């Protein structure tokens, strides 16, 4: 998984840099950080559901992404096998579908059975064939070994929403018989359900309460969430907790820190990195709302749409007042503009390090955050770019794979002292880190990132008051520059490398714009 076509043979981080003169960096300044792993603090288990994904019927996420009947890379059912194998590397534990905003006009019965009902989706301005529906989504999840997470159309009737639960999970009754006739005798046993997407207000909240009751009457074992907050405010309506809180298990939170929805933005590396501490602040604000409502022990956070960048979809911000004319040059241009999100040069080391920053925020709040879903999983802004002839693993794909595969099961408390990285009137810590340990409390995995675009950092790692010493196995993700990206011609320009990392009296060097995960029994 971590090899490359051209293998770099290195034994130390210095060796990595010597082997690759293109990873040049300045050492004229002495940048410092100290990471202290608290050896006397209780450990916190975290939920690997934070490595989840989200897919929506917009752009090339479904059709031309996971599902492409007729492609030489797809099987007889239309599933792209190369895409499935790549996503398996991320160990994605849960996938949310079908929306997102798409769900506001989605009616699940049109997408099951042999006679599918295509329709004109006025929300996104697409002709939806419905060839990828509930059965196909469940099969995709089973192939990836992920839990399916279904988002309901809260504009539909409560009965329609409850019926979808029955269709998926019931063993007897008309809807169970319908599922059986459609080719699946056994229940799908869908555990996670959301009542709507990005809705607010009393009418919605009252419907959430009534729908949650109706759905749990069908299957009491399901876990229900609803729209909690979306956007930068992280505001939760107190009425949500008062009216629907007793019937909820999770609270959906969404944020994209570069809002590309209508205006396409291309901020540089430093502008992006100045956003990297915002996930911590966002989660803290939601946690505070839960605590203010005394719901922190009952309701957990599902950060089920997140990314540094939102995908671009100009001109379609809501239901259209008119029928979409797909021959209209203006409509054609608006839909074509969505492909701007596929530009490979957008996804640089900034995306890789922001992704690590987001996971660190979730891990530090492990008692509150039980799920997170990168939006989206493939194409648009996702970690995996899918094209007709193959795939490209973007920089943040590798961050996700490193976190999902290399970290241990429990969070150990870390205290970090770091110089600051400043730009444009803002600043963030130059170094961020988290430490994890296995159940035996012997094997550690410590993730450390240097956010500086061009300078190395001297980093000291301590176990309590004692500096770590010795040589350990490690994985490093960096690139020839902070703006390095992967594309079809250069799919492995940025990729993780296995190295060994030496600490002398606790000190080691972190190269610029890098993520390093060191593993082993850390010796004092």
Structural fold of domain 48-406: TIM Barrel (3.20.20)
Same fold, 13-45+410-520 and 48-406: no
This prediction's pTM:
0.94
Q: What is the pLDDT of residue 318?
A: 64
Please tell me the distance from the alpha carbon of residue 30 to that of residue 148, in angstroms, as a whole number: 48
Please tell me the distance from the alpha carbon of residue 186 to that of residue 251, in angstroms, as a whole number: 29
Helices within 78-173 (DSSP H only): 81-88, 134-144, 158-169
Q: What is the pLDDT of residue 233?
A: 87
Using only the alpha carbons of the chain, give its radius of gyration. Answer: 23
Q: 458 with 503: CB under 8 angstroms?
A: no
Number of neighbours of residue 447 by Cβ within 10 angstroms: 24
Q: Which CATH superfamily is domain 13-45+410-520 in?
A: Golgi alpha-mannosidase II (2.60.40.1180)
Q: What is the pLDDT of residue 17?
A: 53
Tens digits of pLDDT across the chain (524 residues): 333 332 333 334 555 554 444 444 444 468 999 999 999 999 999 999 999 999 999 999 999 999 999 999 999 999 999 999 999 999 999 999 999 999 999 999 999 999 998 988 877 888 899 999 999 999 999 999 999 999 999 999 999 999 999 999 999 999 999 999 999 999 999 999 999 999 999 999 999 999 999 999 999 999 999 999 999 988 999 999 999 999 999 999 999 999 999 999 999 999 999 999 999 999 999 999 999 999 999 999 999 999 999 999 998 766 655 577 888 898 889 989 999 999 999 999 999 999 999 999 999 999 999 999 999 999 999 999 999 999 999 999 999 999 999 999 999 999 999 999 999 999 999 999 999 999 999 999 999 999 999 999 999 999 999 999 999 999 999 999 999 999 999 999 999 999 999 999 999 999 999 999 999 999 87
Residue 452 CA: distances (Å) to CA of 266, 402, 513, 517: 19, 20, 6, 17
Q: Where are the domains of the chain?
A: 13-45+410-520, 48-406
Q: What is the pLDDT of residue 321?
A: 53
Please tell me the distance from the alpha carbon of residue 95 to that of residue 355, in angstroms, as a whole number: 18
Exposure of 499 in the CB half-sphere (CA atoms within 13 A): 24
Torsional sign, CA 147, 291, 428, 503: negative
């Amino acid at each position: 998984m971590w090899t490359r076509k051209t293998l770099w043979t290195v034994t130390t981080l210095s060796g990595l840099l010597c082997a690759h003169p293109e990873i040049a960096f300045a050492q004229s300044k002495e940048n410092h950080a100290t990471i202290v792993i608290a050896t006397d603090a209780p450990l916190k288990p975290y939920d690997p559901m934070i490595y989840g994904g989200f897919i929506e019927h917009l752009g090339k996420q479904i059709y031309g992404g996971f599902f492409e009947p007729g492609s030489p890379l797809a099987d007889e059912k239309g599933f792209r096998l190369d895409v499935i194998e790549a996503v398996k590397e991320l160990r994605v534990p849960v996938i949310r579908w079908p929306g997102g905003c798409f769900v506001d006009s989605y009616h699940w019965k049109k997408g099951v059975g042999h006679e599918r009902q295509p329709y004109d989706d006025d929300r996104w301005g697409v002709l939806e064939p419905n060839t990828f529906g509930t059965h196909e989504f469940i099969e995709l999840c089973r192939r990836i070994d992920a839990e399916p997470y279904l988002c309901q159309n809260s504009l539909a009737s409560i009965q329609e929403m409850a019926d979808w639960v029955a269709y998926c999970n019931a063993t007897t009754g008309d809807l169970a018989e319908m599922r059986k006739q459609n080719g699946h005798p056994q229940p799908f046993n869908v555990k996670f359900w959301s009542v709507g997407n990005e809705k607010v207000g009393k009418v919605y909240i009252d419907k959430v309460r009534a729908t949650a009751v109706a759905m749990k009457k069908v299957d009491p074992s399901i876990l229900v969430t609803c729209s909690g907050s979306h956007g930068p405010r992280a505001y939760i309506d107190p009425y949500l907790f008062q009216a629907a809180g007793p019937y909820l298990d999770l609270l959906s939170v969404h944020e994209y820190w570069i809002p590309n929805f209508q205006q396409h933005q291309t901020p540089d590396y430093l502008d992006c990195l100045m956003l990297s501490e915002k996930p911590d602040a966002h989660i803290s604000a939601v946690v505070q709302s839960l605590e203010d409502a005394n719901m922190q022990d009952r309701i957990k956070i599902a950060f089920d749409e997140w990314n540094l960048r939102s995908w671009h979809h100009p001109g379609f911000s809501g239901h259209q007042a008119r029928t979409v004319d797909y021959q209209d040059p203006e409509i054609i241009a608006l839909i074509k503009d969505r492909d701007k999100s596929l530009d490979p040069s957008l996804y640089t080391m900034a995306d890789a390090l922001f992704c690590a920053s987001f996971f660190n925020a979730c891990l530090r709040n492990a008692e509150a955050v039980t799920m997170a879903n990168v939006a989206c999983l493939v194409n648009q802004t996702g970690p995996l770019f899918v094209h007709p002839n193959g795939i490209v693993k973007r920089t943040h794909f590798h961050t996700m794979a490193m976190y999902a595969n290399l970290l241990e099961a429990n969070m150990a408390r870390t205290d970090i002292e770091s110089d600051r990285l400043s730009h444009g009137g803002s600043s963030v810590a130059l170094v961020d880190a988290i430490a994890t340990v296995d159940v035996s409390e012997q094997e550690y995995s410590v993730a450390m990132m240097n956010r500086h675009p061009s300078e190395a950092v001297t980093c000291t790692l301590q176990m309590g008051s004692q500096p770590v010493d010795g040589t350990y196995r490690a994985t490093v993700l960096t690139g020839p520059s902070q703006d390095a990206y992967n594309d079809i011609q250069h799919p492995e320009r940025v990729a993780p490398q296995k190295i060994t990392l030496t600490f002398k009296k606790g000190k080691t060097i972190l190269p610029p714009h890098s993520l390093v995960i060191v593993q082993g029994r850390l010796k004092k």
